[in-house]
A and B are shown apart, each in its own frame.
Chain A
Amino acid sequence: MSPIRRGVMFLLLVGVIGGLCVHYEATEDQRDPYPAAEDIDADYDRHVGETALLIGTVESVDRDAGTARLRVDHDGGAFTMTLAEFRTTVEPGGTVQAYGTLEAERTLRVSRTVVVNESGGSKLYKYAVSVAGAALVLGLFFRHWRINLETVAFEVRNRD
């Protein structure tokens, strides 16, 4: 295949990937068995009684009352929910998944929680480790391959 044909194929594939991203978002509601955060925020009362899975940042925890305040961010903004029967150890700033039933007055009665990040700091840990991963994978790849600008293709590096 000539570089030009490969270039055309490449652009075509990038277009299809873009299409996939559009289709993925457009059909999200059909795949997701739970109401979307945007929809819960826009019309809360309509969703009371439904089962929901919310992912958000813990703002505060009241250990004695077994409740917590959860901020849920979505593409169109953010809203705050009360989590009832919340019995998980997490610091404010941490990220949790909360699964349960939506009740009146923006309350989620939690049946299961998963702590995704214990505190705001664990997010930083994840990013730092991911940067190390990116450096490792690029280093490993370009140790063995280089780009040939004439053929616009990777070729194996000759070992000395």
Chain B
Amino acid sequence: MADLLSHVLVAYAAFTVASWQADWLTDEWIAVGTGGAAIPDLIKVEIVVGSGTIETVLGVPFDVSAVGTLGGVLLVAGAIALLFGERRYRAYCLLVAGGCSALVLDGMRKYADGRAGDWLYPVPWNPPSPNLYVSSDSTVLGVVLFVALVVVTLNRRVFGGSE
């Protein structure tokens, strides 16, 4: 996992830039899409309850990491979108878009075998990774912070956004 902060900042910057073209993408919907980018990070519940513990309790193989894949994002976004009442379809699309942005970002990390793992699960293909960065590298966060700051400034000064 690239750190959650990078996921959130990248999604926030991307949705803000998209809002310059799409009038319906207001601040509250940018917040929903940005929240979607945190979905793959829900696998960090493993720090509290390990998959091994769940396996022992349920008596079946179990791995929370499935939430950090395409299939996991599509389903978890569905569960969260139900909390948006009549606006659940728009919420769903934005949550999925945000979640996928985080998955793509993770898919560009360095892998010793050059393959980015099974983040497209249940699609049975491990795509190659451009091997761009490791997530403990603080340069990544520095670059992302800088980009987000530029976008926020442009949004306020040039595009008249409020945030």
Quick check: A130 and B4 within 8 Å, CB to CB?
A: yes
- When A and B form their complex, what is the total count of cross-chain residue pairs whose Cβ atoms lie within 8 Å? 164
**Bound-state Cα–Cα, A129 to B5, Å:** 6
Quick check: A136 and B5 within 8 Å, CB to CB?
A: yes
The verdict on A126 contacting B34 (CB below 8 Å), with A21-B62, A97-B112 known, is no
Q: B76 contacts the other chain (Cβ, under 8 Å)?
A: yes
How many chain A residues touch B (CB < 8 A): the figure is 60
* Secondary structure dominating the interface of A: helix
Shortest Cβ gap from A134 to chain B (Å): 6
Contact surface of B with A, Cβ cutoff 8 Å = 1, 3-9, 12, 27-28, 31-32, 34-35, 37-38, 41, 44, 50-52, 54-55, 58, 60-67, 69, 71-72, 75-76, 78-79, 82-85, 110-113, 115, 118, 121-122, 124, 126, 134-136, 138, 141
Contact surface of A with B, Cβ cutoff 8 Å = 1, 6, 9-10, 13-14, 16-18, 20-26, 28, 30-34, 53, 75-76, 97-99, 112-118, 122-123, 125-126, 129-134, 136-137, 140-141, 143-145, 147, 151-157
